Amino acid sequence: MQKRASPLTPPPLGVEPMTRAILFEGLFVHGLPRNEAFEADMREAGFDRDDLLPQYPLALFRQCLDLACRHFYPGMTVEEGRRRLGQHFAQGFSQTVLGRVVSVSLPLLGPARFLKKFPEHLRFDSSPILVNAVQVSERQFRMEFRTGVGLSPFFLRGLLEEGLRMTRVTPNVRVTQSAPISFDLHITW
């Protein structure tokens, strides 16, 4: 029997962390408007929105986020651009087949149950990521992210903001970064 790696153990050397195509589909197919120059840059990087593969390297997703920030938010900070891309992802994901099912249930779940379930839904396949949802009070959570890959706390901030809006609340999400691979999102509504 093979020993399973801990969630924070990086993949073996030569094994690149991969992510499912739904991440790309939600943002780059449904979440953002068509843009010829942006799509050409993404094809050059290795992603063709008109020819989806089952999975992609997580590093390619980060590269495409940077390209999207340059094309769609050139006058903003990287942090604000990534936050907005997270919001676009949540909106675009709700237009995918899986996303339609999930988004219909969000108002019924409410914000607390949505946040408690969020770690289950945030699976980046071979990427070592650990997410812990801590309920601090009735309308306050702390989402603890511990990862071996460079996730953007600001992208996740935007994703959670938009997801919480879908539960019919107005959220306030604040990022606290304690290390390159460790950050918390503090959420109230």
Where exactly are the structural domains of the chain? Answer: 18-188
| For residue 45, pLDDT beyond 90 | yes
* CA 69-11-185 angle, 5° bins: 45
The two counts, helices (H) then strands (E), for the chain are 6, 6
The DSSP symbol for 30 reads I
Tell me the pLDDT band of 54, cut-offs 50, 70 and 90: very high
Amino acid identity, residue 117? Answer: K
Q: Compute how many other C-beta atoms are within 10 angstroms of the C-beta atom of residue 128.
A: 18
Domain 18-188 maps to which CATH number in 3.30.565.10, 3.90.1520.10, 3.30.390.10, 3.40.190.10?
Answer: 3.90.1520.10
User: Which helix (H) or strand (E) segment is 129 a member of?
Assistant: strand 129-137
pLDDT at res. 10: 46
The radius of gyration of the chain from alpha carbons, rounded to an integer in Å, stands at 16
pLDDT at res. 151: 76
Tell me the pLDDT band of 2, cut-offs 50, 70 and 90: very low
Tell me the pLDDT band of 124, cut-offs 50, 70 and 90: low
With H, G, I as helix, E, B as strand and everything else as coil, classify residue 95. coil
Residues with Cβ within 8 Å of residue 162, at least 6 apart in sequence = 86, 87, 89, 90, 91
Residue pLDDT, tens place only, 89-101: 999 999 999 899 9
| For residue 9, pLDDT beyond 50 | no
Tell me the pLDDT band of 187, cut-offs 50, 70 and 90: very high
Residue pLDDT, tens place only, 61-80: 999 999 999 999 999 999 99
The pTM is what?
Answer: 0.87
CB 144 within 8 A of CB 132: yes
Ordered DSSP codes for 38-68: HHHHHHHHT--TTS--SEEEHHHHHHHHHHH
Averaged pLDDT of the chain? 88
